[in-house]
Amino acid sequence: MATASGTTADYSEKIPNNVGLHEDRRLQRALESWQPNFLSWWQEMGPALPARDVYLRTAVSVGREGWAHFGHVAMRDYRWGIFLAERDPDRRIGFGQYLGEPAWQQVPGEYRSQLRRLVVIQGDTEPASVEQQRNLGATAPSLYDLRNLFQVNVEEGRHLWAMVYLLHAYFGRDGREEAEDLLRRNSGSADAPRILGAFNEETPDWLSFFMFTYFTDRDGKYQLGTLKESAFDPLSRTCEFMLKEEAHHMMVGTTGIDRVVERTAQLMAENDTDDGAEVAARGAIPLEVIQKYLNFHYSVSLDLFGGETSTNVANYYSAGLKGRWLEGRRKDDHKLADDGMLVDALVDGQIGQAEVPALTGLNTDLRREYTADCQSGVNRWNKILAEAGLPQRLALPHVAFNRKVGAFAGIEASPDGQLLSAAEWAARSPQWLPTDVDKTHVRSLMQPVHERGKIAAWIAPPRAGINGKPFDYEYVHLA
């Protein structure tokens, strides 16, 4: 495995990479001096549960076939590496004012600070999620789930490496300072919080973890999808490869919620009850509590798309820095200078829609793609309820519900989109968002099951294991 910049990673180096790091000693030294800081951050802020080894996937190549290697590794020996998807030497810019020109291999001076900002915001979310999930190992419902948690954690750590590589390689001294700051800010910290709202929330229990990987990692999928279109080719190639890893995070969230719903539905059907208290008494999570968690994580994740209208996003698009989801499949001029679109808005104090220039509405465009994707999960979960013979259904709340960013930040709305007074919201929101009582109950269910082949009572086992292994495989050896 000794190719410099092909598809295969060079594992003989301190920092495995497919970017020919050894050809650039200065960059290599800079990254090697950041590495110990990363490792002490991982020790301090990464997974708290000591494990001897974990059955993990490690990226070894970026090719279509067999890019990953599976095996038991001690987490502190995990090889975080730098991998960019293969370069297409003919790649051209697909949108904006430079449409059709060759993609950039360097950062143009005039876009330096905007690009750096995008890379920093992306980079900030990755370690944030590791910090948020730090204590979950202690309450894992099975070794299979514990392994998936650790897999997500090491890959988010690698995503941090991906952004730090770009900062060091392309943004000079400011880039190196930003890389330090990515380890200095911490999720939920009073003096140096993470940049985006959702990444300062807690992930105190496994229902939150599955909701987070379903809804918040999915924002990651969509944001990475837009950065993959970027004219700045190294960013595009980095994001393309990150999206491969992201697919597993989506799977963890989707099937995790499947399994929670399945267990609850099973208890409801068996006992012919729709009484949440009875479901709770039998050790599962009531459907209405699942709905409240869904409402919370979905609405907080909608905020991650920024305002419904934004001049930032218009500038990013025109400059070629950040495209649209599946830009290449859009049937328009990919410049949008003369187009308009309807965005969600407050119109005369009412929840409605307003026509704006298409460029300033691009956050809404992306948010809508995201919402349609989120709905597919809800449909799956509703199918599980239907197959159990139950009439209840889950639903995504309205776009105006519980928003703290954008057009609806200043108002309150019900999950079905009715405008509410502050007093009505105060009285009714406990029906829609997790209360302290709900959270305490969910946490009380989180008793660890660290025994091979066993699973907690509040969740159904998965339909399949990892990499063809059975559910009762020894995915983790605890210390």
Q: Which distant-in-sequence residues (6+ apart) come within 8 Å of 233 by Cβ?
A: 87, 91, 103, 104, 105
As given in the structure block, the two tokens for residue 266 are 């099973």
Residue 248 CB, nearest approach to ligand BYC (Å): 12
Q: What is the 3-state secondary structure (H, E, C) of 337-398?
A: CCCEEEEEEEECCEEEEEEEEHHHHHHHHHHHHHHHHHHHHHHHHHHHHHHCCCCCCCCCCC
159 binds Fe ion (CB under 5 A): yes
Least distance to ligand BYC from the beta carbon of 170, Å? 16
Q: Take residue 70 and report the two structure tokens written for it.
A: 């599976």
Q: Which is nearer to Fe ion, 119 or 449 (CB)?
A: 119
Instruction: Supply angle C-alpha 326, 416, 203, rounded to 5.
Output: 65
Please say which residue, 268 or 359, places its beta carbon nearer to ligand BYC.
359
Give yes or no for residue 193 binding ligand BYC (CB under 6 A).
Answer: no
Kindly identify the residues of this chain, within the stretch 17-76, that bind ligand BYC according to CB under 6 A.
none
Question: Does residue 258 interact with Fe ion by CB under 5 A?
Answer: no
Type of residue found at 312: N
Closest CA to 290 of 360, 411, 394, 409: 394
Distance CA(54)–CA(149), nearest Å, equals 10
Length reported for the chain: 479
Tell which one of 10, 131, 155, 156 touches ligand BYC (CB under 6 A): 156
Q: Of Fe ion, ligand BYC, none, which one sits near residue 397, judging by CB under 5 to 8 A according to partner kind?
A: none
Helix H or strand E segment including 158: helix 143-170
User: Which segment (88-96, 151-159, 286-294, 329-337) binds Fe ion by CB under 5 A?
Assistant: 151-159
Q: Which position among 10, 205, 217, 229 is part of the footprint of ligand BYC (CB under 6 A)? A: 217
How much of the chain is helix, strand and coil, in % rounded to 5? 50, 10, 40
Residue 217 in the binding site for Fe ion (CB under 5 A):
yes
CB 239 within 8 A of CB 119: no
In the complex, the smallest distance separating the C-beta of residue 123 from Fe ion, rounded to whole angstroms, is 10
Binding mask 267-306 for ligand BYC (x = CB under 6 A): ------------------------------------xxxx
CB of 389 to Fe ion, least distance (A): 35
- Separation CA 429–CA 432 (nearest Å): 5
Site for Fe ion in 105-134 (CB under 5 A): 126
- Residues 368, 140: Cα–Cα separation, whole Å: 33
Q: Considering the complex, what minimum distance in angstroms separates the CB of residue 323 from ligand BYC?
A: 11
Q: How far is the CB of 458 from Fe ion (least distance, A)?
A: 24
CB 145, CB 206: distance < 8 Å: yes
Neighbours of 329 (CB within 10 A): 7
- Based on CB atoms, which residue is closest to Fe ion, 54 or 265? 54
Q: Is 132 left (phi over 0), alpha (psi -120 to 50) or beta?
A: alpha
Number of residues that bind ligand BYC (CB under 6 A): 25
Nearer to Fe ion, 58 or 309 (CB): 58
For the chain, the C-alpha Rg in angstroms (whole number) is 23
| Binding status of residue 262 toward ligand BYC by CB under 6 A | no
Site string for ligand BYC, 424-443 (x = CB under 6 A): --------------------
Specify the residue, 287 or 343, whose C-beta has the smaller distance to ligand BYC: 343
Q: For residue 414, state whether it binds ligand BYC (rule: CB under 6 A).
A: no
Q: Which does 5 bind (CB under 5 to 8 A by kind): Fe ion, ligand BYC, none?
A: none
Residues found near ligand BYC in the complex (CB under 6 A): 118, 121-122, 125-126, 129, 156, 196-197, 216-217, 219-220, 223, 303-307, 310, 312-313, 322, 363, 405
Residues found near Fe ion in the complex (CB under 5 A): 126, 156, 159, 217, 220, 249
